[in-house]
Structures are given as C-alpha cells and as structure tokens.
Amino acid sequence: MSILDSILGQVGGNMDIAGIAAKFGIDPATAQQAVSALAGAHAQPGDTVETAAAQTGIDSGTLGQIVSHLGGEGGLGQISQLIQGHPEASNLLSMFGGSAAGGEGQGGVAGLLGMAKGLFG
C-alpha cells in the first residue's frame, strides 16, 4: 500500500488509487498524479481544478469528478493537510507547486518520476 493510499484511507474509508483509477477509466499513475496535483492546488490561490489541470494536462472534467469522489473541497482540504503532516509524503504537494507556504514545486517529468518511485518503491 502506498503512502497516498494510506492517506486516502484515513479520509474515505475504502478509497484508494486503484479504485479511483478504475472508477474514472484512467491508469493508476494518472490517478496518483491527479490526487497529488489536486491536493497541491488546493493550497494555492485560484480554482483548484483548473490549477491542477494546467499543471498535469489531465482533463478538468475528470479532475472535477475526482474532487467530488474525494468529498469535494472539504475532503480535498483534509487530504492536503494529511499529506502536509506526513513526513514521507511531504514531497507530494511540492511536486505540483503546493505547500503549506504555497511555494513552487519541482513539477515536470523528473518530479513525477521521483514521486512515483517514492510511492511505489
């Protein structure tokens, strides 16, 4: 189980990356990228979905549905806080420009590969 799955489980019971991927017809890496980007975008000014879509290239309609699945902005805020408070997951938000201070992230392919390597080990 990945760190992100553990965090999702704290928020939504039986929620996990594989389940999100299956529900929305996307691969698990894209689902992971979507959830991480949405959590990071939640901490930034502006529209969460549009910010995450611009950072990842994932369709904003799909991201909007994922937000609803995660419990809306409230659920997403809880996920964002849990990620920020989890030492091993602290890089998840920074990959997409989000942090407690709203700082810039690494982004890009190298950042995504590093994140995936850390989560899937």
- Which tokens sit at 9? 């489980």
pTM here is 0.69
**For residue 50, how many other CB atoms are within 10 A of its CB?**
13
Residue 85: predicted pLDDT: 74
% of residues, the chain, pLDDT over 90: 32
Segment 22-37 shows an average pLDDT of: 92
How far is the C-alpha of 119 from the C-alpha of 18, rounded, in Å? 13
**Which domain, by its residues, includes 113?**
3-120
Domains in the chain, number:
1
Per DSSP, the three-state class of 81 is helix
Residue 109: predicted pLDDT: 39
Q: Do residues 72 and 60 make contact, with C-beta atoms less than 8 angstroms apart?
A: no
Residue 87: predicted pLDDT: 62
| pLDDT confidence band for 17 (50 / 70 / 90) | confident
Segment 94-121 shows an average pLDDT of: 44
